């Protein structure tokens, strides 16, 4: 049978052309493309047996693991929709994402605390749960093989949550075409080879790790070395043991790697590229890696673009330091009269899941409004100079101040709250909060930070909190964030 087009056919196509090549490395296990396709087909049959039909959702909650890749391809092979969930979220936040997407099946890792809390709640009564290392593997072992179904390029393939400025996160609707065109952009602009060995310890539930490394590397027939978390010492071990040629991460990860005692003598000559996103690479870090072999490939993107938009190539890493680069090959970028970045291309999503008003507000005449303001120099390099939205980035994670403010004001002693991102040497930015307490309340800033534990992911929790009498607001009642930033000297 000739595999039909669509994301769910990729393992079948790879097994047809390079069955013996290693697709995945995880710990001591190695999975070839033939083995991966066999497991994907059996899982697809098992999911179908559990009632999954085209258009249904299958969610995954767990760290990087071969089961993430298997579940993604098996789900899309059925014409169903894959929903990767962020393990860093608090249980209430995960519960919101599950309620919003209504998955028929949830695949979980056994060591994720929010998964245990979620599956023990009454809200999961209609969701079948499969546990990696348990029922997930049993389904694969006991199922026949299913062929991938025919899908339209514009069919929904993945729902991926992205932070917003109105409080709760929203899911971007990534189609089969969106993910394929973005992968082609990476293959063209990064010049991926079929023998790449990519070390991926950044979480796959983020669009950058999934779209900029996982899918392009598998498309080319390379090898993914999957790590559950980033550890500098283990990273150096894997670079040597597996012959790593590409690593993906955020600047804080590469800075931590450079601080290890072994870094000075580590052999990095086989590493071609360090793919870096989330924030610009500081010149000092460029200097640290300058003579070690790897070249920095910096980029700018967003979940709504699957996610690649701009790429700063190694040849201009120094001369254009601080810029986000030029548009990807199949990407069109323009600036609105106010300087806001507008993005168009076959990798840009059609909208948000069940958010018609937010979809209408984000798209204008086929262009996606990024919310970021940029300047373009005479050579076409874009420099991000401001954010229309209030999002800030902490350790590569987008944080919505409105969401944090909403949780703060749910505290019985908090009358009003405001949050902004402030510079931080380690994480790029962290949150700073101002709160107005109910008259007579004795709650301290430390009390509030402790209270947020478990209600917000830790990267969203403000690092510092000031108790104030009032917050500045404009005549329409909106928070005057510029005034708050000025009070911090920003």
Dist. CA 231–CA 215, nearest whole Å: 23
Instruction: Annotate 113-139 with DSSP letters as a single string.
Output: HHHHHHHTSGGGTT-EEEETTTHHHHH
Predicted confidence pLDDT, tens digits, the chain (490 residues): 677 789 999 999 999 999 999 999 999 999 999 999 999 999 999 999 999 999 999 999 999 999 999 999 999 999 999 999 999 888 888 999 999 999 999 999 988 877 767 766 666 778 999 999 999 999 999 999 999 999 999 999 999 998 644 457 899 999 999 999 999 999 999 999 999 999 999 999 999 999 999 999 999 999 999 999 999 999 999 999 999 999 999 888 898 999 999 999 999 999 999 999 877 788 888 888 988 889 999 999 999 999 999 999 999 998 998 899 999 999 999 999 988 999 999 999 999 999 999 999 999 999 999 998 899 999 999 998 766 767 788 998 888 887 898 899 889 999 889 999 999 999 999 999 999 998 899 999 999 999 999 999 999 999 999 999 989 976 545 678 888 989 988 7
User: Domain limits of the chain?
Assistant: 7-376, 392-487
Q: Which residues pair with 60 in a beta bridge?
A: 84, 107
Fold of 392-487: GMP Synthetase; Chain A, domain 3 (3.30.300)
Dist. CA 420–CA 403, nearest whole Å: 12
CB burial of residue 378 (10 Å; 0-12, 13-18, 19+): exposed
Q: What is the pTM of this model?
A: 0.85
Fold of 7-376: Rossmann fold (3.40.50)
Pick from 146, 6, 119: nearest CA to 59: 119
Q: Which residues pair with 387 in a beta bridge?
A: 372
Return all residues near 113 (Cβ < 8 A) that are at least 6 apart: 91
Per the CB < 8 A criterion, the answer to whether 267 and 246 are in contact is no
């Amino acid at each position: 049978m000739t595999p039909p087009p669509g994301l769910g056919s990729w393992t079948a196509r790879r097994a047809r052309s390079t069955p013996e090549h290693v697709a995945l490395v995880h710990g001591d296990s190695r999975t070839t493309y033939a083995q991966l396709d066999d497991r994907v087909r059996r899982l697809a049959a098992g999911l179908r047996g559990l009632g999954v039909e085209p258009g249904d959702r299958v969610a995954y909650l767990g760290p990087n693991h071969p089961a993430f890749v298997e579940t993604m391809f098996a789900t899309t092979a059925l014409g169903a929709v894959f929903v990767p969930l962020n393990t860093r979220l608090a249980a209430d936040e995960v519960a919101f994402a599950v309620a919003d997407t209504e998955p028929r099946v949830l695949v979980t890792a056994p060591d994720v605390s929010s998964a245990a809390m979620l599956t023990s709640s009454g809200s999961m009564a209609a969701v079948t749960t499969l546990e990696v290392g348990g029922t997930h593997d049993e389904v694969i072992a006991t199922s026949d093989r299913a062929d991938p179904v025919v899908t339209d390029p514009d069919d929904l393939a993945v729902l991926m949550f992205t932070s917003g400025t109105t409080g709760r996160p929203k899911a971007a609707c990534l189609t089969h075409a969106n993910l394929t065109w973005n992968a082609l952009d990476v293959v063209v602009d990064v010049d991926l080879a079929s023998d790449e060995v990519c070390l991926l310890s950044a979480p796959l539930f983020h669009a950058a790790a999934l779209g900029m490394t996982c899918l392009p590397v598998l498309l080319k027939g390379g090898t993914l070395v999957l790590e559950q978390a980033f550890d500098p010492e283990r990273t150096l071990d894997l670079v040597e043991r597996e012959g790593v040629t590409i690593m993906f991460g955020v600047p804080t990860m590469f800075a931590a790697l450079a601080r290890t005692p072994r870094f000075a003598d580590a052999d990095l000559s086989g590493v071609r590229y360090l793919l870096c996103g989330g924030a610009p690479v500081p010149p000092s870090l460029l200097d640290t890696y300058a003579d070690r072999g790897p070249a920095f490939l910096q980029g700018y993107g967003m979940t709504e673009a699957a996610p690649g938009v701009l790429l700063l190539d190694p040849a201009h890493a120094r001369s254009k330091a601080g810029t986000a680069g030029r548009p990807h090959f199949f990407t069109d970028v323009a600036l609105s009269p106010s300087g806001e970045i507008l993005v168009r291309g076959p990798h840009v999503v059609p909208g948000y899941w069940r958010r018609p008003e937010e979809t209408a507000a984000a798209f204008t005449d086929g262009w996606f409004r990024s919310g970021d303001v940029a300047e373009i120099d005479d050579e076409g390099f874009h420099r991000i100079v401001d954010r229309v939205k209030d999002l800030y980035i902490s350790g590569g994670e987008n944080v919505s101040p409105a969401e944090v403010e909403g949780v703060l004001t749910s505290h019985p002693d908090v009358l009003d709250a405001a949050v902004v991102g402030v510079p931080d040497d380690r994480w790029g930015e962290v949150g700073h909060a101002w709160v107005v307490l109910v008259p007579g309340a004795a709650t301290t800033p430390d009390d509030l930070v402790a209270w947020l534990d478990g209600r917000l992911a830790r990267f969203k929790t403000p690092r510092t909190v000031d108790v104030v009498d009032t917050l500045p607001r404009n005549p329409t009642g909106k928070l005057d964030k510029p005034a708050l930033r000025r009070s911090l000297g920003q």
